[in-house]
Amino acid sequence: MAELNKIWHTSPMAKGNLGKGFKRIYFVLCGLLAWVLLKDVMGHVQCLNGELPDLCWMKYGGGLSYTIITRLVMFSLTIPIYFIIRWVYLGFKK
């Protein structure tokens, strides 16, 4: 067990893989968020094309353009979050 611990802490590959793993997890989560937000916009479109389009405002609170803009703003917030987490990670790395 002590040998594995020694290899883990001294291996340069082990330290580099943490950053790559974080980046992969981040991009997968962003992809899932984009998919969920896109499904929400598609649900709004289906609601507008459905039998009772006047009741769509109860679920979505505004028009289709409002829904699209708010979902784009929500997704664009993932970019600064990535750089903040990266900044913190690089600060601890040194």
Q: Report the pLDDT value the prediction gives residue 52, as an integer from 0 to 100.
A: 83
Q: Give the domain ranges of the chain.
A: 22-93
Amino acid letter, 66: Y
**Contact by Cβ (8 Å): 44, 63:** no
Q: Report the pLDDT value the prediction gives residue 32, as an integer from 0 to 100.
A: 94
Chunked mean pLDDT (size 10), the chain, 94 residues: 56 61 88 93 88 81 87 92 86 70
Q: Report the pLDDT value the prediction gives residue 35, as an integer from 0 to 100.
A: 95
Burial of 76 (0-12, 13-18, 19+ CB in 10 A): exposed
61: three-class secondary structure by DSSP: coil
pTM: 0.69
Q: Report the pLDDT value the prediction gives residue 20, as an integer from 0 to 100.
A: 75
